[in-house]
Amino acid sequence: MKKIYTLFLGILPLGLMAQTMNTIESVEYDPVNQQWLVSNDNSIIAQDHFGNLSYFSQGVASADYGMEIIGNTLFVINSDAGQSVVGYDLTSGEEVMSLPLTGLQFANGMASDGDHRLWVSDFTGGKIYEIDVTDFNAPTLTQVVNFIMTTPNGIVYDGDNNRLLYVNWANSGPITAVDLSDYSTSTATSTNLSNCDGIDNDASGNWYVSSWSPTRITRYSNDFSTNEIITVPGLQFPADISYAQEVDTLAIPNVGTSEIILVGFGPSAIDEIQPENGFFTIYPNPITSQSAVEFKLYTSAQVNMRIIDAQGKIVAQLLDEELAPGKHRVMLAALNLEKGYYICTAETGGNVFLYPFLAQ
């Protein structure tokens, strides 16, 4: 016989945002103008915190793949007139630098040290290039890693360990480290992820990886000793992700739906959950861009989790899979629920748990 559990939490303020684009690949947070910048094929789209869209640089600027911000300059990979890295002033939107990417076959991911160095992954050529942008009038391009036996995609700078980390577009591709003292490569960790697209880190040193197979966001601890799945409903082909430490938010270019999904990471309530209080919690509630369903499994278990509206209609299927023991978090940022009361149901181990929440 199934047991039914119902739990309640208090009421908190709400905010929810996800906007539709056209053709997207990469996203970067612009702290100068407090907005998100999105590479959108033949343009760069700016999205403010209210979800309003506009053209960056009146639509003159263009970006196809990776983007990075250093100081007051946005650097982008631009293939409109042959592959190049172009720099744009964040205040005026004017072009301040252009460097042809001579020798690269397919420039894809981009990383920066936040000072004067950029790195670009050559997806097809299997190489890594370093760009010195100290002098905008004379930037330099140097190949630093040659003929990688994988397909390097998203790339990030790890200053604490003087290295780069990049993900691979391969079956069960590893996360690879590049030692910046001698540019040697090694495996930071193996994965069971295929077709990895993006990688970035938060202020605590955790690493976030987007993959297409399985379609998910995976968070690794700083030393890659542990990992967890960040479940984001509606995820379809997540591309070159970016973690904005200034606002503690992960931005996911969702290629399958041509929208940017913003996932906020606020304080977690999971450590406060005691077994006698029930199976899971939703925090904050009413839901915001930081809200998540959080729960802990003590053994492997099949979990079926859904969202039901006030009329009893299933409006979202969050989970229906076997999960490993440990803490789990299912983000609610992309649900786009209409205002009203809902119930989150979770069925596992012969028990059904119910948790009401509010969308405002």
pLDDT band at 242 (very low <50, low <70, confident <90, very high): very high
HSE of 166 in the Cβ direction (CA atoms, 13 Å)? 31
Residues 248 and 306 in one domain: no
What is the model's pLDDT at position 48? 82
In total, how many domains does the chain have? 2
Please tell me the predicted confidence (pLDDT) of residue 185: 96
Q: Span 271-299, mean pLDDT?
A: 75
- Residue 35 domain-assigned? yes
**CA–CA distance, 108 with 125 (Å, rounded to integer):** 11
Spell out the residues 6+ positions from residue 211 whose beta carbon is closer than 8 angstroms to its own: 167, 191, 193, 194, 195, 196, 197, 218, 238
CB-CB contact of 51 with 45 (8 Å): no
Asked whether residue 230 falls in the same domain as residue 179, the answer is yes
In a domain, 262, yes or no: no
> If you average pLDDT over residues 161-186, what whole number do you get?
96
Q: Which of the pair, 22 or 268, is modelled with greater confidence? A: 22
Does 121 share its domain with 154?
yes
Residues 94 and 48 in one domain: yes
Angle formed at CA 284 by CA 357 and CA 323, multiple of 5 degrees: 80
Check whether residue 143 and residue 37 sit in a common domain. yes
Full DSSP string of 69-121: EETTEEEEEE-BTBSEEEEEETTT--EEEEEE-TT-S-EEEEEE-SSSEEEEE
Task: Specify burial of residue 261 (Cβ count, 10 A radius: 0-12, 13-18, 19+).
Answer: buried
Share of the chain above pLDDT 90, in %: 57
Question: Does residue 257 surpass a pLDDT of 60?
Answer: yes
**What is the mean predicted confidence (pLDDT) over 31-35?**
91
- Of the residues 257, 289, 314, which one is the last residue of a structural domain? 257
- 225 in the same domain as 320: no
Asked whether residue 161 carries a pLDDT value surpassing 80, the answer given is: yes
End-of-domain residue from the set 225, 257, 289:
257
Tell me which of 257, 282, 316 is where a domain ends.
257
Whether residue 321 has pLDDT greater than 80: yes
Asked whether the predicted pLDDT for residue 12 surpasses 50, the reply is no
Domain that holds residue 150: 22-257
User: What secondary structure letter does DSSP report for 280?
Assistant: E
Residues 10 and 115 grouped into a single domain: no
Pair (157, 9) in one structural domain? no
Tell me, what's the pLDDT at 272?
Answer: 52
**Mean per-residue pLDDT of the chain:** 87
Are both 195 and 248 inside the same structural domain?
A: yes
Which of 41-45, 84-88, 344-348 is predicted most confidently?
A: 84-88
Span of 24-28, 146-150, 200-204, 263-267 with lowest mean pLDDT: 263-267
Please tell me the pTM assigned to this model.
0.77
Q: How far is CA 93 from CA 131, 306, 348, in A?
A: 21, 44, 53
Mean pLDDT for 284-304 is: 87
- Looking at the fold, whether 198 and 60 belong to one and the same domain comes out as yes
